[in-house]
């Protein structure tokens, strides 16, 4: 299907003199909006009460959205690469905003299936397309600092939840005066949640369209002033060749990185999933914990900050030390920290907090660095599509992580009576997963030349293959 | 946006553009303000770990 003219890639090729520092805010405008997906817990209790259903029935909404994120990123990745970031951001905005509208109508009319369809399926498609939409564009604008560039955007995804959580509480307290976010146990009405959904739809539409309309792609052969592509080629594992998405999934490198991402994300979710009860259980004596509920909520905030900061700091660091070494840190040092958390984490609160915070920074870093790792191995040609396919590892980890932790804790006792020792089996499973990821990362080698796309004879300065010239 | 960007002719014949610094600052402010709000609120919540 032909795109309207204003969305076509040819219309957004930047002219000489365009300032590339306009691209990160375009990417952030999208990622800050779709990052709301991690703030759904704010109104979960309200939906459980409004629909008169179980926690699981409402929790499924988030699970559907994350599964749809992975599926849509994998399915539409090639379309995103072919049509460019404006078409992708525009489409993502339409799906994400429609998801809120349909979901809001579902809450308003008491139709749970509409919430599943709206926020879960339609919104989830917007999530997947939006997540990958700016990635390859950023990599092309910042060939000298791809880790920094993708780190900024993916930091925005983490930041989106930090914005949406307090904003949701504030808005719902306006829509339902009986709701007081400061009072424990206070729950907003379903109508307030529906109104919140409609408000988000309007605000996110404006923000995401702003991103879509300021984004540009660099002209063929463009490079930053004073930057020499040869300086990149000299680094091991970094290719100046191009591999298509269809071929990338046939290489062992793709699947090794799939395992790396899966293990890193699963290990991070292991802590994120249980953060608040976990810190209380680690410092429990009998029926009481030395960590109060408010302090436990503060711990979740600390983890969110480190998760977000890790996306930017570690991904930027990878530009200097290389992608493979930084994943050795995420997985190797992460493994040691997990062992320390399991064995001596309960000896002092400050030690527990530091260990968990650094582990979560590695979790964020793993997300943010993966696009640059893919660029190094497969080139920029279809890196967005390859990234989309790799995000199925996130969907799988989103199911596996909570499943591992919850099923292990279920065998250890009742919530509210667990202590540090009850967490050890789950934590050591995560240690094993990190070891698997560490080995997978060690096995990554440059992609075999048989997978490279044919090049123009004169294309010594541009890695774009002949095929892309006619697309 | 192209309408807000002044145009001139570059050396290779293509029309060149100059992206106004004010527009770049506006774009960064638009995404920076909500992010700063989120960070402030989260730091406030996180501080209860040390005071709560």
Contacts of A463 (CB under 8 A, 6+ apart): A239, A240, A241, A242, A379, A380, A381, A455
Contact assignment for A15 to B7 by CB distance below 8 Å: yes
Q: Buried b vs exposed e over A352-379: b needs ≥16 C-beta within 10 Å?
A: bbbbbbbbbbbbbbbbbbbbbbbbbbbb
Mutate to test the interface with B, among A214, A220, A289 (most CBs of B within 10 A): A214
Burial (0-12, 13-18, 19+ Cβ within 10 Å), A457: exposed
Question: For the CA atoms of A87, A14, A30, B34, what is the dihedral angle to 10 degrees?
Answer: -150
Q: Using a CB–CB cutoff of 8 Å, tell me whether B25 touches chain A.
A: no
For chain B, which residues make up each domain, given as ranges?
Answer: 20-52
ipTM above 0.90, yes or no: no
Q: Test B38 with A163 for CB contact under 8 angstroms.
A: yes
Are A301 and B45 an interchain contact pair (Cβ–Cβ within 8 Å)? yes
Contact residues on chain B for A300, CB-CB shorter than 8 A: 45
What pLDDT shows up at residue A116? 96
Q: Which two three-digit tokens encode residue A21?
A: 């520092």
Which residues in chain A have Cβ-Cβ distances shorter than 8 Å to B23?
Answer: 22
Given 1.20.1250.20, 3.40.50.300, 3.40.50.2300, 3.40.50.970, which CATH number is that of A230-471?
A: 1.20.1250.20
Chain B residues whose beta carbon lies within 8 Å of the beta carbon of residue A292: 52
The per-residue pLDDT for A93 is: 97
Q: What is the mean pLDDT of residues B12-27?
A: 82
- Which of B1, B19, B39 is facing A19, going by the closest CB pair? B19
* pLDDT of A468: 38
Q: Are A236 and A330 in contact (CB under 8 A)?
A: no
Nearest of A440, A382, A34 to residue A261 by alpha carbon: A440
Q: At what angle do helices A146-175 and A293-321 cross, to 10 degrees?
A: 160
Q: What residue segments make up the domains of chain A, in order of their start?
A: 21-219, 230-471
Q: Cα angle vertex A403, ends A61, A256, to 5°?
A: 100
Q: Do A15 and B48 touch (CB under 8 A)?
A: no
**A462 and A379 Cβ atoms separated by less than 8 Å:** no
For the domain covering A21-219, report its CATH number. 1.20.1250.20
**CA–CA dist B27, A56 (Å, integer):** 40
CB A464 within 8 A of CB A454: no
Average pLDDT, chain B: 76
Residuewise pLDDT in 10s, chain A (471 residues): 678 888 888 889 998 889 999 999 999 999 999 999 888 888 988 999 999 988 778 888 888 898 899 999 999 999 998 999 999 999 999 999 999 999 999 999 999 999 999 999 999 999 999 999 998 899 889 989 889 988 988 889 888 888 998 899 999 999 999 998 888 778 899 999 999 999 999 999 999 999 999 999 999 888 888 887 777 666 777 877 889 999 999 999 999 999 999 999 999 887 887 788 888 889 988 778 888 877 887 888 888 889 999 999 999 999 999 999 999 999 999 999 999 999 999 999 999 999 999 999 999 999 999 999 999 999 988 898 999 999 999 888 988 888 888 888 888 887 777 888 889 999 999 999 999 999 999 999 999 989 888 876 544 444 445 443 333
DSSP letters spanning B1-52: -GGGSEEEE-TTSSEEEE--HHHHHHHHHHHHHHHHHHHHHHHHHHTHHHH-
Chain B residues with CB-CB distance to A275 below 8 A: none
């Amino acid at each position: 299907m032909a795109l309207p003219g204003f969305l076509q890639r040819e219309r957004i090729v930047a002219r000489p003199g365009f300032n590339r520092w306009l691209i990160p805010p375009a990417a952030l405008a999208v990622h800050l909006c779709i990052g709301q997906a991690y703030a759904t817990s704010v109104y979960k209790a309200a939906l459980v009460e409004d629909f008169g259903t179980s926690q699981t029935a409402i929790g499924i909404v988030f699970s559907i959205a994350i599964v749809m994120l992975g599926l849509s990123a994998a399915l539409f990745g090639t379309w995103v690469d072919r049509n460019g970031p404006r078409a992708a951001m525009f489409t993502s905005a339409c799906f994400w905003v429609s998801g809120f509208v349909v979901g809001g109508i579902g809450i308003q009319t008491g139709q749970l299936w509409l919430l599943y369809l709206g926020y879960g399926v339609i919104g989830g498609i917007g999530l997947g397309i939006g997540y990958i939409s700016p990635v390859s564009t950023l990599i092309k604008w910042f060939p000298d600092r791809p880790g920094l560039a993708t780190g900024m955007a993916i930091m925005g995804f983490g930041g989106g939840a930090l914005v949406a959580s307090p904003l949701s509480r504030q808005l719902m307290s306006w829509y339902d005066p009986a709701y007081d976010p400061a009072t424990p146990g206070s729950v907003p009405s379903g109508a307030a949640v529906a109104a919140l959904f409609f408000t988000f739809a309007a605000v996110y539409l404006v923000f995401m369209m702003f991103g879509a309309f300021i984004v540009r792609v660099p002209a063929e052969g463009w490079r930053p002033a004073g930057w020499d592509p040869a300086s990149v080629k000299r680094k091991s594992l970094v290719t100046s060749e191009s591999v298509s998405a269809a071929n990338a999934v046939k290489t062992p490198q793709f699947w090794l990185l799939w395992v790396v991402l899966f293990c890193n994300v699963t290990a991070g979710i292991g802590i994120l999933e249980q953060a608040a009860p976990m810190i209380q259980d680690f410092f429990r004596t009998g029926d009481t914990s030395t960590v109060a509920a408010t302090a436990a909520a503060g711990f979740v905030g600390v983890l969110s900050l480190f998760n977000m900061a890790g996306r930017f700091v570690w991904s930027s660091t990878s530009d200097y030390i290389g992608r493979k070494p930084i994943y050795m840190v995420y997985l190797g040092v992460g493994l040691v920290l997990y062992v320390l958390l399991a064995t001596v984490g309960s000896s002092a609160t400050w030690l527990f907090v530091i260990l968990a915070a650094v582990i979560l920074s590695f979790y964020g870093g793993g997300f943010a660095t993966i696009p640059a790792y893919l660029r190094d191995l497969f080139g920029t040609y279809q890196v967005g599509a390859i990234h989309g396919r790799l995000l199925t590892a996130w969907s799988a980890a989103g199911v596996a992580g909570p499943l591992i932790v919850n099923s292990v804790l279920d065998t250890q006792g009742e919530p509210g009576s667990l202590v540090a020792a009850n967490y050890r089996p789950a934590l050591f499973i995560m240690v094993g997963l990190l070891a698997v990821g560490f080995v997978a990362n060690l096995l990554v080698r440059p992609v075999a030349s048989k997978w490279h796309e044919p090049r123009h004879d004169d294309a010594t300065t541009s890695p774009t293959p002949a095929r892309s010239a006619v697309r | 946006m192209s309408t807000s960007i002044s145009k001139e002719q570059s050396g290779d014949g293509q029309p060149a553009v100059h992206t106004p610094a004010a527009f770049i600052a506006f774009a960064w402010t638009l995404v920076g303000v909500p992010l700063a709000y989120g960070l402030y609120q989260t730091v406030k919540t996180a501080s209860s770990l040390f005071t709560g």
